Amino acid sequence: MIRVGIVGATGYGGAELIRLLVGHPHVQIANLYSSSAEGESLEKTFPHVSGLGLPKLAPIDAQSMSKDNDVIFLATPAGVSADLSPQLMKLGGTKVIDLSGDFRLECADAYRSWYKKEPAPAEWVEKAVYGLTEWNYEQVAGASLVANPGCYPTATLLALIPLMQKGWVKPDSWIVDAKSGVSGAGRGLSMGVHYSEINESIHAYKVAKHQHTPEIEQELAKQSGIASLVQFTPHLVPMTRGILVTAYGQLETKVTQAQAQELFEATYADKPFVRVRPAGTHPHTKEVLGSNYCDISVHVDERTGRVIVLSVIDNMVKGAAGQAIQNMNVMFQFPEKAGLPLVPVFP
Ligand SMILES: NC(=O)C1=CN([C@@H]2O[C@H](COP(=O)(O)OP(=O)(O)OC[C@H]3O[C@@H](n4cnc5c(N)ncnc54)[C@H](OP(=O)(O)O)[C@@H]3O)[C@@H](O)[C@H]2O)C=CC1
Ligand SMILES: CC(=O)N[C@@H](CCC(=O)OP(=O)(O)O)C(=O)O
């Protein structure tokens, strides 16, 4: 059994980590940390975790954290990990999996410009491994610091990488239309997540300005060797969980539906959490709810010469806590599926 610590346990990502880790056969939730509720029981914030015997919320202190845990998940807002993770790394003794965007972007100026914050020290950004498990398995296995991918990039990259590796799509043609449930915005209250303003309504946000755009472009270029330009537009939809990505690319060469289908099926045949759906089908967010799956279907439109890829995830699981646990499993040589539910909640 390894000892796990969670920072940001009073938030949605932290709560989801607890939900999944309580049933994990190889871990013990040893410590929960809070910057605002130290000494309290988490049940006060989240009655749904009552009776699990969880530790009380402890103060954030790098010295003791590095001694008391084998791995620490940071489910904290951007900027926190940039400061805390280098301290933990220098002290040694624990691995870190960061759910925020602090170690995802390799270019410091890109981080400054998209996140409007000061980046983490370059030496630690260089050492961090981007935890898209399906594509970086070996690097994750040897990592001490993992940058868990953003929710939209997870759904987008799993859909786009196979096609870009083949060079089948014009790299400046990608249009990624994405829709997310409201839990993606975290637990904090703001006008943007006010029930009476988002219910029975849908809207785009951060058009041409979303911080996941450079993350998608960076990782697509690294995996395919081709620099792509991605037009990414996120939308908020009135549901709690789920992301649907609809990605459109202009085909560079003639590709048939059968070839595209075969490509995706072959690429993900041995990946336990990517399910390629049969041709002509349309995955629903509800079909991955509560699970670590990314379900994908690929459609070639011979009339327009475009390929359309549909990709769904649960933003809290494959988009955050589930993928973080998948990464932990790989880092500690546990079975990749350990502790991760294999049947979604349906209906
Ligand atoms: N929700 C989602 O679907 C996804 C979220 N993410 C990322 O994961 C991270 C966590 O997101 P989420 O759980 O949704 O956010 P929440 O807002 O729900 O929770 C964040 C938690 O961070 C803690 N926190 C806030 N400020 C500080 C601070 N200065 N120092 C230490 N801890 C702090 C708070 O806990 P306390 O007050 O107890 O310290 C808070 O509960 C974010 O970076 C987010 O962008 C990534 C992918 C998907
Ligand atoms: C619906 C919603 O608001 N979603 C969030 C996803 C945040 C996130 O995952 O943030 P980082 O990956 O940058 O840490 C957003 O669009 O900002």
Each residue's pLDDT tens digit, 309-341: 999 999 999 999 999 999 999 999 999 999 999
CA angle 49, 55, 60 (to 5 degrees): 110
Ligand 2 contact via 323 beta carbon (within 6 Å): no
Known catalytic membership, residue 107: no
How far apart CA 303 and CA 291 sit, in angstroms, is 36
When pLDDT is averaged across residues 197-224 and rounded to a whole number, the result is 97
CATH architecture under which domain 152-314 falls = 2-Layer Sandwich (3.30)
From 7, 20, 151, 320, active-site residue? 151
Per-residue confidence (pLDDT) for residue 347, from 0 to 100: 94
Interior/surface letters 5-22, b for 16+ CB within 10 angstroms, e for the rest: bbbbbbbbbbbbbbbbbe
Sketch the domain layout of the chain as residue ranges. 2-127, 152-314
Cβ atoms of 256 and 298 within 8 Å: the answer is no
DSSP-assigned states of every residue in 74-139: E---TTHHHHHHHHHHHH-S-EEEE-SSTTT-S-HHHHHHHH-SPPPPHHHHHH-EE--HHHHHHH
Q: How confident is the model at residue 308 (pLDDT cuts 50, 70, 90)?
A: very high
Q: Measured between alpha carbons, how far is residue 24 from residues 68, 75, 143 in Å?
A: 19, 18, 21
How far apart CA 26 and CA 294 sit, in angstroms, is 24
How far apart CA 84 and CA 228 sit, in angstroms, is 33
Per-residue confidence (pLDDT) for residue 316, from 0 to 100: 98
Q: Which of 212, 213, 235, 239 to mutate to test the pocket of ligand 2 (most atoms within 8 A of CB)?
A: 212
Ligand 1 contact via 77 beta carbon (within 6 Å): yes
Q: Is 8 helix (H, G, I), strand (E, B) or coil?
A: coil
Per-residue confidence (pLDDT) for residue 75, from 0 to 100: 98
Tell how far the Cα of 11 is from the centroid of ligand 1, in angstroms: 5
- The closest residue, in CA terms, to atom 6 on ligand 2 is 184
Per-residue confidence (pLDDT) for residue 40, from 0 to 100: 96
What fold, for 2-127?
Rossmann fold (3.40.50)
High-pLDDT (> 90) share of the chain, %: 99
**pTM of this structure:** 0.98
Model confidence pLDDT, tens digit, residues 66-124: 999 999 999 999 999 999 999 999 999 999 999 999 999 999 999 999 999 999 999 99
Of 36, 336, 264, 75, the C-alpha closest to 186 is 75
How far apart CA 299 and CA 210 sit, in angstroms, is 26
The conformational region for residue 242 under phi > 0 = left, psi -120 to 50 = alpha, else beta, is: left
How far apart CA 15 and CA 117 sit, in angstroms, is 26
Interface predicted TM-score (ipTM): 0.98
Model confidence pLDDT, tens digit, residues 26-60: 999 999 999 999 999 999 999 999 999 999 999 99
Ligand 1 contact via 132 beta carbon (within 6 Å): no
- The closest residue, in CA terms, to atom 15 on ligand 1 is 186
Per-residue confidence (pLDDT) for residue 191, from 0 to 100: 85
Cβ atoms of 313 and 288 within 8 Å: the answer is yes
Ligand with smallest separation from the Cα of 187: 1
Model confidence pLDDT, tens digit, residues 236-268: 999 999 999 999 999 999 999 999 999 999 999
Per-residue confidence (pLDDT) for residue 216, from 0 to 100: 98
Per-residue confidence (pLDDT) for residue 7, from 0 to 100: 98
Q: Which of 35, 179, 182 to mutate to test the pocket of ligand 1 (most atoms within 8 A of CB)?
A: 35
Instruction: Report which secondary-structure segment, H or E, holds 72.
Output: strand 71-74
Lookup result for tokens 């279907």: 297
Amino acid in position 316: M
Q: Does residue 185 have a pLDDT over 90?
A: yes
Cβ atoms of 102 and 120 within 8 Å: the answer is yes
Tell how far the Cα of 152 is from the centroid of ligand 2, in angstroms: 8
Q: Does residue 192 have a pLDDT over 90?
A: no
Lookup result for tokens 């994405």: 178
Per-residue confidence (pLDDT) for residue 253, from 0 to 100: 93
Ligand 1 contact via 158 beta carbon (within 6 Å): no
Tell how far the Cα of 184 is from the centroid of ligand 2, in angstroms: 6
Cβ atoms of 237 and 202 within 8 Å: the answer is yes
Count of Cβ atoms closer than 10 Å to residue 344 Cβ: 18
Per-residue confidence (pLDDT) for residue 311, from 0 to 100: 98
Largest CA distance in the chain: 63
